[in-house]
Structure 1
Amino acid sequence: MTHSRLSVCDSTFSSGPCQRNERHRGADPHVCPRIRAFPPPFPGRVVQVCSSHSERRGRYDADGHSASYASERTIVKAYIRTFGCQMNEHDSQRIAALLEASGYAMTEAIEEASLILLNTCSVRHNPENKVFSFLGMLAPLKRERPELVIGVGGCVAQQLGGAILARNRDVDLVFGPDQYANLPEMLDLVRRGERVVMTDWGPKQPPVQDFIPDALIEAGPVVNGKAYIAIMTGCNNFCSFCIVPYVRGREISRPPESILREARALIDKGAREIWLLGQNVNSYRAEGWRFYELLEAMARLPVARLRFTSPHPKDWDNALS
């Protein structure tokens, strides 16, 4: 496996382009920290880490470890607040499953949480305002419990990157929608006293890949008989009014067998209604399959109702009519 480079920034942020590639060709540079090279602590995508985090905390336990290190023993409950669309709801469910697999207990009581994650949306300006308003509401909790870890993920995180750390000093972790599978490693870095920004796309991504971690394919929840399956992500259209390609990247479709495997697992858990999700869901193309062929295969499963969102008119296939 090729190791990505870890970048370390100081506490001053400036505007400038991050590393870019074909995955998000055409996107304008977003605000990111000034960086310098640093050896990678784990394999994966490019990570930007601010070394001033433990200095800002300024608290150490009896063994000389920072308060962030001590939080490794106290982070037991996690709270996730989701802003935006069904895809974000699905991503939050996956994040929760990943955290539970890592030993966290999810809670709906924010005051009980030692880890608070915001999964954000930037399709409209109002959700972005809600995110920073919510972060402001967390300030008293952070003052009361400095070891509390606050992370911002999703599309606002991808759009603004390290500028979020400059705007709100209570935030410890910023990660894009492609990065949630790396959360355990990112949280390890936070416990070691770092502020983490992980929004780089990394190497050019193939148009067909299973972007759902294998361990989580059968871990999706069923709520009141309803379940979500992400069949593709990203968009290639670059409409003048839409930010999606800039924060979700180019289109990537999952292999059909992976999708069907997940659907069978959800049906076994009691799913009666399944939503197929994608930023441009009917542009699905994988291993010779088109969207209508995937729908036909899904329709042969013992599920009462299939829904999908969001389609694009230009990709509508007459075979669906």
Structure 2
Amino acid sequence: MPNTLSSRAALRFNIAFVSWCALFLVLGAAGLAALASVDRLPAPPITATNCIDEKFKFLHETTIREPDLLAVGSSVTWRNLDFRVLKARYGDAVAPLNAAPCYLHVDETAFLTGFLLDNMPSVKTVLSVFSMRDFETCAAGENAFFRPEDARDYVFGDSPGWHLYFKNLRPGAFLRDALTLADMRSGENIHAPLVMDAYGSGPLLLPEPDIRENVSVDPACLRHLGNLGKDLARRGVHFVVVLLPPMPGWIAAYDPGGFRDGAFRAEVSRHLDPTGALLIDAAKGLSLTDKDFTDHAHLQWTSVPTFMDHLISQMDRSQLDLAGGGRHHAL
């Protein structure tokens, strides 16, 4: 008799457990569908940062499936490239895609680049725009800041990503994003817009420039950059590294005379030199004022075409063939 009662109790518990799980999934799916209908559904949570997840969402949805030029980096790459200018110069000879999200340091950029190239065999050139902020802190080893299997199934497979809301749910971040993402996606939140153009770039335009905080260089980041250059060389992929010009106001506030900035640029060159990467130091030959910047790491979108024209002229001068092939040297 006791065994029978125990079996019945266990059965009731299992039925109740399964029922509650089913109810949770049904209500959860209904909630996700409701948020999607009003454009308040956050992107599937692959990382803990909405602008990175939004970039994975863009990569999931874009029709650019076989790019030959891939931009990867932090928001310094994401917000400072306008590939319309590149297409106007090269036309259909180049298929660019800006896969850069935000908040990445060099070690994280290296991890993301490896993941993307493992799944994009069409890429012949990787383009990264860096400022000193990208080199502020890096892990000693590889910084795997997301699970490759989650991103691979969502970005490159046929998975719609619904299971990720349950697998990686962070309730606090999810609710916050549900309340704020609509204004970021529309661009109404001008300080943190998540608007992306057809190539994945994220325009930024602010009324006044902001000098913002001081930054310094972690030597580990320079080593990661050199290792990334070597990895791309082993893959047979050209690496174009662009150093953003310094913001004059930032230099005046934190680096009078520009000695730290100069040392940083020299160290980047030293670490890239053995890799065969093309280094374009935009501090040489491009004169910008504070009004061209939103802050020390981002240009006003209206100034990006000038920056792009300079990059294109330097790539042409190096005889880099963006469609695949060609030797180049540091500029």
Determine if the TM-score, normalized by the shorter chain, exceeds 0.5: no
Q: Which has the higher contact order (CA 8 A, sep 6+)?
A: 2
Select the structure that is richer in strand: 1
Report the TM-score when normalising by structure 1: 0.28
| Larger Rg, first or second structure (1 or 2) | 2
Report the TM-score when normalising by structure 2: 0.28
Select the structure that is richer in helix: 2
